[in-house]
Amino acid sequence: MVNRTRRLQRRKTRRTYRVRNGIRRCSTRGYRLSVFRSNKNIYAQLINDKDGVTICAANSLQKSVVEGNGGTVEAAKAVGKKIAELAAEKGITEATLDRGPCQYHGRVLALADGAREAGMTL
């Protein structure tokens, strides 16, 4: 059982590195929109990889963003809109989406769509 858990963790780590290295290698934009999805909430942060600084962050735990359950598609869309608004305040309109080990559907897709609706180019 322990070996199976380690094997699954290694697969997740490899997927994460593969996605992130592709972003770093091919991206002409200076910022990365990193998404973390847990079972109950979703988190997003805008990162400047050149300086190693987090510019802004939003998540479904914030009461100003989401009321109620944070693990829904609607909550993810609200988080996407919020992160795009915070980025616009800093003058950032372009970023590259870093989905981590997650597939690009469901809540991750909703977050990206919400950010695009609020004016961000991903």
Q: For the segment 55-80, what is each residue's pLDDT rounded down to a tens digit? A: 999 999 999 898 888 899 999 999 99
- Determine the pLDDT at residue 67: 86
pLDDT of amino acid 11: 92
Which whole-number Å values give the CA distances from 61 to 70, 72, 79, in the listed order? 7, 12, 10
Which has the closest alpha carbon to 33: 105, 106, 82? 82
Tell me the mean pLDDT in the region 24-44: 89
Domain ranges of the chain: 2-117
Does the pLDDT at position 36 exceed 80?
Answer: yes
Top-tier CATH class for 2-117: alpha beta
Residues 6 or more apart from 33 whose CB is under 8 A from it?
Answer: 44, 45, 46, 47, 83, 95, 96, 97, 98, 115, 120, 122
Distance of CA 62 to the CA centre of its chain: 16
Is residue 40 pLDDT above 80, yes or no? yes
pLDDT of residue 34: 95
Q: What share of the chain has pLDDT > 70, as a percent?
A: 99
The single-letter DSSP state of residue 72 is S
* Residue pLDDT, tens place only, 22-33: 888 777 778 999
Beta 31-37 vs 96-98: how paired, if at all? Answer: parallel
